[in-house]
């Protein structure tokens, strides 16, 4: 692509030649803006956040600029905080497992069994709920989970689940896991579907010809190929669930707390401790991302 009509003296042609000869300048022009923005706004803010975790809070709960490690020590050693972190991680893992259990058969059906002309429609149907508001879906589940208020209620009956199948998990941890799994399910279906689409049908036929039963084929052929896709999907389900504090607040009020709720509440009372607590999700996510990148989650997904 170096053959440019050299005689062309028009202004755009001269600009083009200049940009071609000065590749560093072109790189600077294209990358300068976005990188400056991300460094100033985002990385800058993260550094401020980490710094804020080491600021001392005076007796009027105002943040000073004196250095202290007390907040970070508190954030990482207080028993109730650690309990909340463990609860959050367990909820995020449960959400990931539940999403995987639903997404795997769904993606397999859509990619390999459904008639090709229905495939695109089905995958769009899976993605479409992402476009309905996040809060709206949270409150929809809250109403669905509403238990029967008993005989003292103004009106008998419960929400959708109580009325249709006569059972509801109430507003506890199970309800939170179901709601979060609902919110992030499409993020798990999509990468698995994409992974299955790349899986040549001949592999499955070959496995069948060599005498493998479907389960053996699934375990020895499909799963190894799907590991990066599942890892990529789990980054969404795990990370989005871990930091969520609106869903637990909507579903169970103050009853079930996750790490995000602590950070949110402490913003009013003790900003430095709140900043120190954000180091928990940051650390957990970094460890998780490193683990997933060993499973090749970032390659070609």
Report the site for other proteins in 133-172 (rule: CB under 8 A).
133-137, 139-144, 146, 155, 157-160, 162-164
Number of residues forming the site for other proteins (CB under 8 A): 116
CA 53 to chain centre: 25
Please say which residue, 177 or 207, places its beta carbon nearer to other proteins.
207
Residues 81-100 that bind other proteins (CB under 8 A): none
Residues 1-20 that bind other proteins (CB under 8 A): 1-5, 8, 12-13, 15-17, 19-20
CA 85 to chain centre: 17
Residues 104-123 that bind other proteins (CB under 8 A): 105-106, 108-110, 112-114, 120, 122-123
Rg (CA), the chain: 26
Stretch that binds other proteins, among 66-74, 78-86, 169-177, 202-210 (CB under 8 A): 202-210
Residues 247-266 that bind other proteins (CB under 8 A): 250, 260, 263-264
Residues 43-72 that bind other proteins (CB under 8 A): 43-46, 48-49, 52
Of 248, 245, 246, give the one whose Cα is nearest residue 281.
Answer: 245
Give 211: exposed, middle or buried? Use CB within 10 Å, 0-12, 13-18, 19+. Answer: exposed
Stretch that binds other proteins, among 33-41, 71-79, 169-177 (CB under 8 A): 33-41
Do 183 and 139 form a contact (C-beta atoms < 8 A)? no
The reply on whether position 25 binds other proteins by CB under 8 A is no
The reply on whether position 208 binds other proteins by CB under 8 A is yes
Residues 212-231 that bind other proteins (CB under 8 A): 214, 217
Smallest distance from other proteins to CB 106, Å? 5
Stretch that binds other proteins, among 68-76, 77-85, 169-177, 272-280 (CB under 8 A): 272-280
Smallest distance from other proteins to CB 42, Å? 5
- In order, the DSSP letters of the chain are -----TT--SHHHHHHHHHHH-HHHHHHHHHHHHHHHIIIIIIHHHHHHHHHTTEEE-TTS-EEEEE-SHHHHHHHH-HHHHHHHHHHHHHHHHHHHHHHHHHHHHHHIIIIIS-HHHHHHHHHHHHGGGGS-HHHHHHHHHHHHPPP--TTSSS---SHHHHHTS---TTSHHHHHHHHHHHHHHHHHHHHHHHHHHS-HHHHHHHHHTT--HHHHIIIIIHHHHHHHHHHHHHHHHHHHHT--HHHHHHHTTSS--HHHHHHHHHHH-HHHHHHHTHHHHHHHHHHHHHHHHTTTTS--
The partner residues of 67 in beta bridges, in order of sequence, read 55
Smallest distance from other proteins to CB 73, Å? 19
Please say which residue, 140 or 174, places its beta carbon nearer to other proteins.
140
Smallest distance from other proteins to CB 124, Å? 5
Residues 182-201 that bind other proteins (CB under 8 A): 182, 185-187, 190-191, 193-194, 197
Please say which residue, 12 or 79, places its beta carbon nearer to other proteins.
12
- Which of 73, 82, 90, 282 binds other proteins (CB under 8 A)? It is 282
Please say which residue, 59 or 115, places its beta carbon nearer to other proteins.
115
Smallest distance from other proteins to CB 56, Å? 15
């Amino acid at each position: 692509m170096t053959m440019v009509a050299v005689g062309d003296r028009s202004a755009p042609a001269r600009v083009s030649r200049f940009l071609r000869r000065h590749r560093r300048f072109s790189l600077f022009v294209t990358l300068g803006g976005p990188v400056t923005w991300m460094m100033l706004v985002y990385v800058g803010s993260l550094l401020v956040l980490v710094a804020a975790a080491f600021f001392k809070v005076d007796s009027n709960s105002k943040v000073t600029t004196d250095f202290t490690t007390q907040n970070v020590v508190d954030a990482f050693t207080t028993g109730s905080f650690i309990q909340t972190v463990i609860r959050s991680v367990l909820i995020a893992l449960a959400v990931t497992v539940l999403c995987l259990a639903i997404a795997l058969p769904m993606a397999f059906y859509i990619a390999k069994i459904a008639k090709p002309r229905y495939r695109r429609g089905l995958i769009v149907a899976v993605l479409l709920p992402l476009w309905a508001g996040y809060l709206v879906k949270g409150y929809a589940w809250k109403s669905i989970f509403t238990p029967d208020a008993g005989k003292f209620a103004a009106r008998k009956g419960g929400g959708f689940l109580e009325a249709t199948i006569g059972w509801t998990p109430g507003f506890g941890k199970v309800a939170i896991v179901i709601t979060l799994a609902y919110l992030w399910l499409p993020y798990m279906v999509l990468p698995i579907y994409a992974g299955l689409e790349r899986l040549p049908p001949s592999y499955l036929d070959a496995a069948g010809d060599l005498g493998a039963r479907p389960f053996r084929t699934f375990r020895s052929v499909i799963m190894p190929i799907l590991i990066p896709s599942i890892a990529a999907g789990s980054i969404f389900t795990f990370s989005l669930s871990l930091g969520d504090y609106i869903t637990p607040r909507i579903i169970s009020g103050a009853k079930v707390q996750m790490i995000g709720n602590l950070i949110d509440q402490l913003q009013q009372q003790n900003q430095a401790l709140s900043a120190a607590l954000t180091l928990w999700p940051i650390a957990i996510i970094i460890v998780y991302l490193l683990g997933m990148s060993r499973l090749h989650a970032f390659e070609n997904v």
